[in-house]
Chains A and B, each alone.
Chain A
């Protein structure tokens, strides 16, 4: 039996780092404050392998790329995903392209970690789900877990992978707890989705924070006699196309939910996948419920309004299963901002 320990997603990431640093002396960790915040790693693995850097994302990422090509396995923590813009040149133009352009002479085993998402009311220069931008860049892999166990297993897989992997950590999940396998050979393979709930009437596909939104919607739907299947993608590139297609062929309805904006997003890719490879199975149009095509506001009220809520998912599915019975009013404007709430769901007083 697998032994498990209850811990937060953040602790699970820390455990993954520790195990991989133990496992492979070529793994090193760099970033603004990584050595301050993870003193125990400095103590155990030395200051050479756990490095506070100057505040300079371009050179952090560039150094990681150069070091990866030369035999090390760097993990870089770039803090909030928007700061990756400074690192984009090294990640996109170098890490993603130079293996190919060198005719396969080099490989770039590196991991770049960035936090995304709502929950802290810090506004668009910190809160931006820009994962799809990196999905669009050739040569990179992109993962984005929803559960503590996957934070551990995917980070370990990313460190062991011989390609550059972008690891997006939804900051709304970092302090959530879950059971995490103790085994230091516990790996979650990149490119494999997880089936979180089995159902037969509709497939809800999501990743990161909105997986929980889908699960809550599925519970609400169950009360109304509708059986929803929930898929957690976990990896955005490569995408587990088979898992999605298999489910859609069964349920014949597809709803994709993510906090990132819809245009050219993961949902668009999945809609194209379903239209291209499961067209005959579909009984209703594919629906995307996403964040709006707008920078994220700091105000808690607007942050709430921007994020897909369980009720929105439930309502959309109810309309979807009724499709054909009556003219669906939502078809024209499901995107963008189709997920926007019209009322704050909770009220805050500060």
Chain B
């Protein structure tokens, strides 16, 4: 696709991917209500995932955390296989062993996922070191997604220092969603701490509106280009908001309703929809068709996941050792 075309197609595609992520997450919420295991949804953070992942190419690797559905779907993961994984079935990306919290999909370049907060930061420099030392395709970089909470772990600084000093091709993506499980981040750090800490390590840092998918995308494109050209790491802090609870179910009784409302008014999907309508890139009919298509994909995914078998109990010891 040439650049002209992409000016129209890119934003539309990004809207559609965000819709798919949202619909997927909402389906998991409903499944949880029917007894399935709970999940950490990325509702409200879709622009972060889509804006960054679309700026990567096939050579690149992704390392992520417990709130990974957006990253996986934006990378092209099949919602059916994701859902099967969450339900603990054999057709999931990890054969039901992971569940929602540690899904990796090597075929997609989503190489390691840790639900130990900070685990993603501890693993990513090694993946980048391997890229740099000739494993994987030349020019590949590593994007590591982590939360504002992970920035509180000491490993955050250890990873940044190593990446800078060893000149590792890494994009650090902090999805600052204001929450660290049941603790507001301002209870644990100064407002601008994350970007300042990162700057202290001596790498390029940018703070971006994480609910504006085009702003995220532009920043990510520039950062990725910079990393490929220099071989050195970059840091993006994406300001966003966790619209739902930490882990389903969660009544969010501890959340300030005014703050939640303010962020809901800046919902990333709504913002992109309004932008596209305003620019005449889509109309009501187009939006309805997009919504319908998304619904169908999730229905197909759900049917696939529910039809998938449970792993056989005697497979329990498979994959403990290579």
Chain A residues with CB under 8 Å of chain B are 32-33, 36-37, 52-59, 82-83, 85-86, 120-123, 125-126, 292-295, 297-302, 304-306, 337, 340-344, 348-350
On whether the beta carbons of A125 and B116 are closer than 8 Å, the reply is: yes
**CA–CA, A187 to B223, complex, Å?**
59
**CA–CA, A82 to B66, complex, Å?**
15
Nearest-CB residue, chain B, relative to A120: B37
On whether the beta carbons of A125 and B114 are closer than 8 Å, the reply is: yes
On whether the beta carbons of B188 and A54 are closer than 8 Å, the reply is: yes
Query: In the complex, which of the residues A123, A349, A350 contacts B97, with contact meaning CB atoms closer than 8 Å?
Result: A123
A-B contact pairs, 28 of them (CB 8 A): A32-B181, A33-B181, A33-B183, A36-B182, A36-B254, A37-B182, A54-B180, A54-B188, A56-B154, A58-B153, A58-B154, A83-B116, A86-B116, A86-B118, A86-B153, A120-B38, A294-B317, A298-B88, A299-B88, A299-B99, A302-B88, A302-B316, A340-B316, A342-B314, A344-B313, A348-B35, A350-B35, A350-B36
**CA–CA, A330 to B47, complex, Å?**
57
Chain B residues with CB under 8 Å of chain A are 31, 34-38, 87-89, 96-102, 114-119, 149-150, 152-154, 180-183, 187-189, 254, 306, 310-317, 320
**CA–CA, A302 to B150, complex, Å?**
30
Known pairs A52-B183, A86-B118, A295-B320 / 20 extra A-B pairs, C-beta < 8 Å: A32-B182, A52-B188, A53-B188, A55-B188, A56-B152, A123-B97, A294-B320, A297-B88, A297-B97, A299-B96, A299-B311, A300-B88, A301-B311, A302-B97, A302-B315, A340-B314, A340-B316, A344-B310, A344-B313, A350-B31
Nearest-CB residue, chain B, relative to A300: B88
On whether the beta carbons of A126 and B316 are closer than 8 Å, the reply is: no
Contacts of A86 in B (CB 8 A): 116, 118, 153
**CA–CA, A306 to B88, complex, Å?**
14
Q: How far is the CB of B116 from chain A (nearest CB, A)?
A: 5
Query: In the complex, which of the residues A36, A344, A348 contacts B183, with contact meaning CB atoms closer than 8 Å?
Result: A36
Q: How far is the CB of B315 from chain A (nearest CB, A)?
A: 8
**CA–CA, A341 to B97, complex, Å?**
17
On whether the beta carbons of B116 and A85 are closer than 8 Å, the reply is: yes
Q: How far is the CB of B322 from chain A (nearest CB, A)?
A: 14
Contacts of B101 in A (CB 8 A): 122-123, 125-126, 298
- A54 and B154 in contact (CB under 8 A), knowing A122-B101, A306-B316? no
**CA–CA, A294 to B319, complex, Å?**
9
**CA–CA, A86 to B102, complex, Å?**
18
